[in-house]
Amino acid sequence: MTAGTGAPPGTRLALFDLDHTLLTGDSDALWCDFLMLRRVVDPAVFAAANTDMDSRYRAGKAGAQEFCEFYVSTLTGMTRTTGEALRKEFLDKVIRPRIPADARALVERHRQAGDVLVMTTATNRFITELTAIEFGIEHLIATEIEEFHGAFTGRTRDVLNMREGKVTRLSDWLAKRGWPQVMMGEATFYSDSINDLPLLSVVGTPVVVDADAKLAAEAGRRGWRSMAFQRA
């Protein structure tokens, strides 16, 4: 599907959040744990901060900029070349074992239906690219990372793909392809988190998956469909 071309008639988007939805756990928090285990970052500095950030994000209490830049800071000074072996090991040892069979089956059902598959995540692109490939999801909308002279600066760039930013980034993504904005209103979106309420509120079919308490209550009020995955 090429940028600048109209979407084929009948094309529908299937949008998937990653952390605590398709994945059991949060890939940012797991990345920090992995880096601490490998002594790439100092456990004495990151352990408590990582736990605190993960819990505050799930409760919808962490600021978007604060959340994203805390985790992107773990990449400061790293190049794509030096980081490649790390993220491949991360996928193999940490991510794959945390992907429920139910999540793979859900993505496959939408693939068989001919839907356009999009992973939309607040986690940065460098960490999540290989996970999207693992699922066979062609399109990834993620938080982008600033680079300078071939190395990550530890800062984000552009609109963060979090909360209201997920709506903005999806709208921009459609526009770049010359696809109508109405496709957002016809899309299905799967998420676990109250942080995704803005995007859940504008798609045609919002589905909550193992929802947090706040989202479960909101979904109940709005009559949204709810799913639970069998997780290890």
The partner residues of 15 in beta bridges, in order of sequence, read: 118, 189
**What whole-number distance in Å separates Cα of residue 35 and Cα of residue 127?**
12
- pLDDT for the residue numbered 44: 81
Would you list the domain boundaries of the chain? Answer: 13-224
- pLDDT for the residue numbered 4: 44
- pLDDT for the residue numbered 6: 64
pTM: 0.90
Most distant pair of Cα atoms in the chain: their distance? 55
- pLDDT for the residue numbered 84: 93
Among 19, 26, 28, 33, which one carries the catalytic annotation?
19
- pLDDT for the residue numbered 1: 36
Intervals of the chain under pLDDT 70: 1-9
| Catalytic (active site) residue 17 | yes
- pLDDT for the residue numbered 5: 55
- pLDDT for the residue numbered 27: 93
| Catalytic (active site) residue 19 | yes
Phi, psi of 28 (to 5 degrees): -65, -50
- Residue 109 CA: distances (Å) to CA of 63, 77, 129: 35, 40, 21
Query: Domain 13-224 adopts which CATH fold?
Result: Rossmann fold (3.40.50)
Percent of the chain with pLDDT over 70: 96
**What whole-number distance in Å separates Cα of residue 132 and Cα of residue 143?**
14
- pLDDT for the residue numbered 3: 40
